[in-house]
A and B are shown apart, each in its own frame.
Chain A
Amino acid sequence: MPPTRKKTIQIDEDEQVDWAPKIDESMSASSLRTVLDRVKSRDGIIGYIIRGPTSASIDIKDPSKIIDYAALSAEAMETGETLSGSFDMGKVSHILLDGRSLKILLLKKGEQELTVFMERNVDHNAVCKELS
């Protein structure tokens, strides 16, 4: 029956339109998350943040620090971009922020911005290599 078929097709199309563009994004984000979960299992890794153009997810061991870490991560990325623009540095490959209690590594993978929080004694080069 034409009306029913039409309706079915319409629903399918809607789902396609809704989901199709996001499949790639979620796949890349999920594969990144797999790598990040592997990284997180290392000693001294405190957590990570993935921030995409439309979504972000945070996995930090201490939930009370989530806000501060998220704000710091966003600010560090912004500062990196400002400095790279001001001083003609080219594309920023990564940013390493060394705090007095811990350090954070920020890098961009496509549209995803990754931030990994770790103890000061962690080899950030190894983490960077694994994520790149």
Chain B
Amino acid sequence: MNDEIYNAALRNALSGIKDAMIDLNWSFILTNDGTVITSDENAVDPAITKAASSFQTLAQKAASIGGLDNMLIAGDKCNIYVSSVNDMYLVAGLTKNADLVYFRTVTGAVLPTVLKVLDSVTSSLSQTSTPTPFKPTTNIPFSQSKITESSLFKPTVPETTPDEEDTLEEEEETSPNEEANEEVEEAQELQVPTSSSTQRTETTKLPEELPSQQLIVDRFSGLMVKADTIQLDVEILKRWSEELDVESIGEVDIETFSGKTVRCKTKTINDPKLEGRGLIRIPEKTCQSLDVRRGELVRVRPVLPEGD
């Protein structure tokens, strides 16, 4: 079963939920990597894209509270309710006085059932026929992150290059009745290992963002202290260098809440009592220029060494 059918089924499910709930204004579903897989017709795409991208980061950070189960944003005019369904998230715009318990009951019953049916249909189809090649979703390709293994729509064959995709789409348009046969042929064509594997490496490497972390300021001073060198946990530096695939992180950018930024060299915290406490030790002079005090939070980003 391809993702278009999957999307259509979910879209119908959302329409059904909307019919059952007059308090529901709009809704859409996100996978846990932030990809929008379906939306009902009244939802605005740019807003969804923005919301999904923002929500994606939040869902990742929610690992510290055991993963995100649900979320309610209560506004003056309306509420947004996000609930987890299997490995997806249902995002819904509800009126201010919507009955959340009823909404949870309806969505908690309908969506898992639909997903279960779709999964069982998919697995029975895959047992009886050659797997259908995965086509990248046409909805919103905003997601800059990798598609996780747990994603329901993980590809069954290697990804295609844009040129190949175009060719495939053209072929499908010209002969829709022979879709099944062609898909099998396409799958065989696509399984050429050299080009597809190169493409995958490129697509996963390109959109990487620099990691950043909020840390608590600790001030220090001394005769031999260099104003342009801060101290960080060795673990943080190690993690960043692993994430960015560099030997070491020599410099970081520090940004305060008031928007002041400074670039400093890094050293590891040498006081064992201060290790692992989420601190950034900043020399007194730099603290003054940044206008930050002990205990305040700053955002710290590693600087990629030149040439990487």
* Interface residues of A, Cβ cutoff 8 Å to B: 51-58, 63-72, 74-76, 78-80, 82-84, 86-104, 117
**What are 13 of the A-B contact pairs (CB < 8 Å)?**
A56-B296, A67-B213, A70-B214, A75-B61, A76-B58, A89-B80, A91-B75, A92-B73, A96-B74, A97-B65, A99-B66, A100-B68, A102-B66
Q: Are A100 and B65 in contact (CB under 8 A)?
A: yes
Question: In the assembled complex, which residues on chain A have CB atoms less than 8 Å from the CB atom of B93?
Answer: 87
Question: In the assembled complex, which residues on chain A have CB atoms less than 8 Å from the CB atom of B295?
Answer: 55-57
Q: Are A67 and B73 in contact (CB under 8 A)?
A: no
List the one stretch of B10-18, B49-57, B117-125 in contact with chain A.
B49-57
Closest to B296 in A: A55
The verdict on B227 contacting chain A, using a C-beta distance below 8 Å, is: no
Partner of A72, one of B44, B61, B79, B215: B61
For B196-234 the 0/1 string (1 means CB < 8 A from A) is 000000000000000001111000000000000000000
Once bound together, how far apart are the Cα atoms of A71 and B65, in whole Å? Answer: 12
Secondary structure class of chain B's binding surface, majority of residues: mixed
- Nearest CB on B from A99, distance (A): 3
Closest to B65 in A: A99
Q: Are A90 and B257 in contact (CB under 8 A)?
A: no
The verdict on B29 contacting chain A, using a C-beta distance below 8 Å, is: no
Closest to B295 in A: A57
Q: Are A80 and B73 in contact (CB under 8 A)?
A: yes
For B257-285 the 0/1 string (1 means CB < 8 A from A) is 11000000000000000001110000000
Closest to A103 in B: B65
Once bound together, how far apart are the Cα atoms of A104 and B64, in whole Å? Answer: 11
* Size category, B interface: 35 or more
Question: In the assembled complex, which residues on chain B have CB atoms less than 8 Å from the CB atom of A67?
Answer: 213-215, 278
Once bound together, how far apart are the Cα atoms of A64 and B276, in whole Å? Answer: 7
Top 3 A-B residue pairs of the complex, sorted by shortest distance between their CB atoms: A99-B65, A89-B75, A90-B76
Q: Are A79 and B55 in contact (CB under 8 A)?
A: yes
Once bound together, how far apart are the Cα atoms of A86 and B91, in whole Å? Answer: 13
Q: Are A66 and B68 in contact (CB under 8 A)?
A: no
Question: In the assembled complex, which residues on chain B have CB atoms less than 8 Å from the CB atom of A103?
Answer: 65
Q: Are B74 and A95 in contact (CB under 8 A)?
A: yes
Q: Indicate whether A104 sits within 8 Å of B65 (C-beta atoms), given known contacts A66-B278, A70-B297, A87-B47.
A: yes
Question: In the assembled complex, which residues on chain A have CB atoms less than 8 Å from the CB atom of B61?
Answer: 68, 71-72, 75
Once bound together, how far apart are the Cα atoms of A101 and B68, in whole Å? Answer: 9
Once bound together, how far apart are the Cα atoms of A92 and B78, in whole Å? Answer: 9
Once bound together, how far apart are the Cα atoms of A65 and B297, in whole Å? Answer: 15
Question: In the assembled complex, which residues on chain B have CB atoms less than 8 Å from the CB atom of A51?
Answer: 257, 297
Given contacts A84-B80, A90-B76, 10 further A-B contacts (CB under 8 A): A72-B64, A79-B55, A87-B26, A89-B76, A94-B74, A95-B72, A98-B70, A99-B64, A99-B65, A101-B65
Most A C-beta atoms less than 10 A away, residue of B62, B76, B79, B296: B62
Question: In the assembled complex, which residues on chain B have CB atoms less than 8 Å from the CB atom of A102?
Answer: 65-66
Question: In the assembled complex, which residues on chain A have CB atoms less than 8 Å from the CB atom of B154?
Answer: none
- Nearest CB on B from A90, distance (A): 3
Question: In the assembled complex, which residues on chain A have CB atoms less than 8 Å from the CB atom of B65?
Answer: 72, 97, 99-104, 117
Q: Are A97 and B71 in contact (CB under 8 A)?
A: yes
Closest to B233 in A: A67
Question: In the assembled complex, which residues on chain B have CB atoms less than 8 Å from the CB atom of A71?
Answer: 61, 64, 213-214
Once bound together, how far apart are the Cα atoms of A83 and B93, in whole Å? Answer: 10
Most B C-beta atoms less than 10 A away, residue of A68, A71, A84, A92: A71
Once bound together, how far apart are the Cα atoms of A68 and B67, in whole Å? Answer: 12
Question: In the assembled complex, which residues on chain B have CB atoms less than 8 Å from the CB atom of A89?
Answer: 73, 75-80
- Nearest CB on A from B52, distance (A): 10
Q: Are B51 and A90 in contact (CB under 8 A)?
A: no
For B92-109 the 0/1 string (1 means CB < 8 A from A) is 010000000000000000
Partner of A75, one of B58, B66, B79, B80: B58
Q: Are B73 and A69 in contact (CB under 8 A)?
A: no
Once bound together, how far apart are the Cα atoms of A36 and B35, in whole Å? Answer: 38
The verdict on B69 contacting chain A, using a C-beta distance below 8 Å, is: yes
- Nearest CB on A from B86, distance (A): 14
